[in-house]
Structure 1
Amino acid sequence: MSMRPAFHLAVPVDDLDNARTFYGDALGLREGRSGDHWIDWDLCGHQLVTHLIPGDRVPIGTSEVDGHAVPVPHFGLLLPTEDFHALAERLRAAGAEFAVEPCRRFPGEPAEQWTMFLRDPAGNALEFKAFRDEAQVFAR
């Protein structure tokens, strides 16, 4: 039996109710299986697992990219442009605070893209982006 490639990512959270509100309500992800200390999420066909890990988190640093302090480490998705803007509006309506507001980068260049960064309630950083031309994602 063959499966399509998908990733599995596990991230620490300090409160599962806050994770449900953020990942389920704000991001609109479908909740999968769960236990007393974890929740599976469908991140566009990829498995994202939030694991309850009480205590302090390792601080997130930043890297200067195109005039923005980009949180590192981070994870996220490449989305179609229409989906990117719909998600940005959904997050604004949910009161999300952006580490980097939705913005267009590299206008007119092959790598032209929309990007936004935010943190979940546990401090994990997420990036969502959309390329004008998806064929340019890995172009050099």
Structure 2
Amino acid sequence: MALAPFHLAIPVHDLAAARHFYGQVFGCDEGRSSDHWVDFDFFGHQLVIHQAPQMPHQAEAHSNAVDGHDVPVPHFGVVLAWEDWEALAERLQSLKTRFVIEPYVRFKGQVGEQATMFLFDPCGNALEFKAFKDISQMFAK
């Protein structure tokens, strides 16, 4: 079965900063918009940023330990091809992006070995980008 694109709408308390982040930092194409929301092509998925008051999880993130790192919760992101993940990591590093968890490979030598990185958008929404050398291990136990 082919994957269907997801639709995700997230709150942002600074629409201009978030628009710049997703459009310029990530290079996502902009779709429809209004004074209060903007659609983006987020790696083939529909991400909509909506102007809203700052949410508690955006002001102070909760985290859970995973592979020795504090992973922010909630978070969202996409699973990329390995080469696309490497290119994105290089792009973000060249732009001096501040990471919560720097790009690295976790679970090395284990089932589910994956490249991952975590960062926050300007409004405190946590994002994770990951890649698997062997995509068949995405749900492996």
TM-score by length of structure 1 reads: 0.92
Q: How many Å separate the matches in 1 of 2:136 and 2:3? A: 20
Q: What amino acid is aligned across from residue 116 of structure 2 in structure 1?
A: T
Equivalent residues of 1:110, 1:133 under 8 A apart: no
Q: How many Å separate the matches in 1 of 2:81 and 2:55? A: 35
Equivalent residues of 1:111, 1:132 under 8 A apart: no
Q: What amino acid is aligned across from residue 21 of structure 2 in structure 1?
A: F
Q: How many Å separate the matches in 1 of 2:56 and 2:97? A: 20
Equivalent residues of 2:54, 2:123 under 8 A apart: no
Q: How far did residue 105 of structure 1 move?
A: 0.8
Structure 2 unaligned residues grouped into runs of 5+: none
Q: What amino acid is aligned across from residue 131 of structure 2 in structure 1?
A: A
Alpha carbon RMSD of aligned pairs, Å? 1.5
Identical amino acids, percent of aligned pairs: 56
Equivalent residues of 1:104, 1:112 under 8 A apart: yes
Equivalent residues of 2:21, 2:122 under 8 A apart: yes
- Which residue number corresponds to residue 67 of structure 1? 68
Equivalent residues of 1:14, 1:53 under 8 A apart: yes
Q: How far did residue 17 of structure 1 move?
A: 1.4
Match status 1:16 vs 2:32: no
DSSP 3-state at the match of 1:5: coil
Structure 1 unaligned residues grouped into runs of 5+: none
DSSP 3-state at the match of 1:118: strand
- Which residue number corresponds to residue 34 of structure 1? 33
**Residues 55, 78 of structure 1: alpha-carbon distance in 2 compared, 3 angstrom cutoff:** closer
Match status 1:92 vs 2:90: no
DSSP 3-state at the match of 1:24: helix
Match status 1:80 vs 2:72: no
Match status 1:47 vs 2:46: yes
Q: How many Å separate the matches in 1 of 2:43 and 2:55? A: 29
Q: How many Å separate the matches in 1 of 2:44 and 2:87? A: 18
For each residue in 1:42-83, what CA deviation from the matched residue of structure 2 results, as whole angstroms up to 9, or x when unmatched?
Answer: 112211000011345433200000100000000000001111
Range with bigger deviation, 12-21 or 34-43: 12-21
For each residue in 1:1-52, what CA deviation from the matched residue of structure 2 results, as whole angstroms up to 9, or x when unmatched?
Answer: xx96221101111112111211011111111110000000111221100001
Q: How many Å separate the matches in 2 of 1:122 and 1:57? A: 11
Equivalent residues of 2:62, 2:73 under 8 A apart: yes
